[in-house]
Chains A and B, each alone.
Chain A
Amino acid sequence: MGVAHDLLQQAFHLASYNAPSPTQSDLRRAVSTAYYALFHLLVEEGGTRWLGGSQSAQTGLQRAFDHGAMKQTSVRFAEAIWTDWHGAPQAVPPALRQVAKRFVDLQEDRHLADYDNHEQWTDTDVQAVLRSVERAFRDWDSIRTDPIAGNYLLAMILGKRR
C-alpha cells in the first residue's frame, strides 16, 4: 500500500478520532489529508509510469506536479470532451471525468479547510468529502490503464507548456 492509500485511511481516522463530537481541527485535517490522498495517488501513478530509469528520476518527476496545473488540467478533463495533442476531440470516460471533478472539488475544500477559519465544518460535510475520495480511488483504479488516463497525467505535468 502506498502513501496515497495510507493518507486516505488516515483521513477517515482523523474524522472519527473524537466521534461523536469531532473538533474543527479533526475535521479540517481530515479534509486536507483526503485531498493529499488523491494528490499522491495521481503523483505516484505518474512517477510509476515514467520512472526515468532510477528512483531519483522518479522523485524528480513527481516534483514536477504542481497543484495549480493539476487543477486546470482536471477542469479540462471533467468536461465530456478533451482536445488531444493533435487538436482532435476525444471523449473522456465517465470514471476519469469523476476523478477530475473530485480533484477540483477537493483542492477547493482543502484550501477552505486549511486557510479559512470562518468556515465551519461538520461531520456530514466531511463524510461526504471522504466518500467522494473513496469513490475517486475506485474510479481511478477502473480507468488507470486507459491511454487517456496517461494523457491526463501527462497534461498535469506539462501544465500550460503543452
Chain B
Amino acid sequence: MITASIPTREQLEQIVRELAPDVVRIRCQASLDWSGDSALYFRVILSDDASAPARLWGVTEKVRSTLFRALDLSESDPIPYFRFRSDSEQAKIREQSWE
C-alpha cells in the first residue's frame, strides 16, 4: 500500500525559488520501490550551468539537504529517492514525468 503523502506543487515551487537559478523544476511521485517500501521519487531539473562537472556534486547535495529540511523528510517511510537531469537534456528527451 502506498502511504506516502506527496508534497504539493506549491511546496515544490517554493523550494525551486529558494534554489534558483540552479534548479529549474522539481517533480515528485509517490510509489513503491523495488522491495515494496513506500517511496517518494524526486525528479530535479538543473540548469545547464549547475549540471557542469565542477558544480554537479555540490548542487545535488544542496538540493537533497534543502528538500529534507523544507519537507521534513525522513530516511524511511517513505524513502526519498533523487534523480537529476539538466535542462537541455530534458529539452531533448521531453519525458512527461519530468515536465
Which positions in A face B, CB cutoff 8 Å?
68, 71, 75-76, 78-79, 101, 104-105, 107-109, 111, 115, 120, 122-125, 127-128, 131-132, 135
Contacts and interface: CB of A to CB of B under 8 A. Distances in A.
B57 A131 contact: yes
B95 A75 contact: no
A107 B75 CA distance: 15
Interface of B: 33-35, 37, 39, 46, 51, 53, 56-57, 60, 74-76, 79, 81-86, 89, 93, 95
B93 A108 contact: no
A122 B81 contact: no
Given A120-B93, A124-B51, A128-B56, A111 B34 contact: yes
A94 to B, nearest CB: 12
| Chain B interface, DSSP helix/strand/loop, else mixed | mixed
20 contacts: A68-B35, A75-B75, A75-B79, A76-B76, A78-B76, A104-B75, A107-B34, A109-B81, A111-B33, A111-B34, A115-B34, A120-B93, A120-B95, A122-B89, A122-B93, A123-B89, A124-B51, A131-B56, A131-B60, A135-B57
B33 A128 contact: no
Contacts, number: 56
A104 B64 CA distance: 14
Contacts of B56: 124, 127-128, 131
Contact of B81 (A71, A78, A105, A128): A105
B88 to A, nearest CB: 9
B85 A71 contact: no
A122 B86 contact: yes
A105 B82 contact: yes
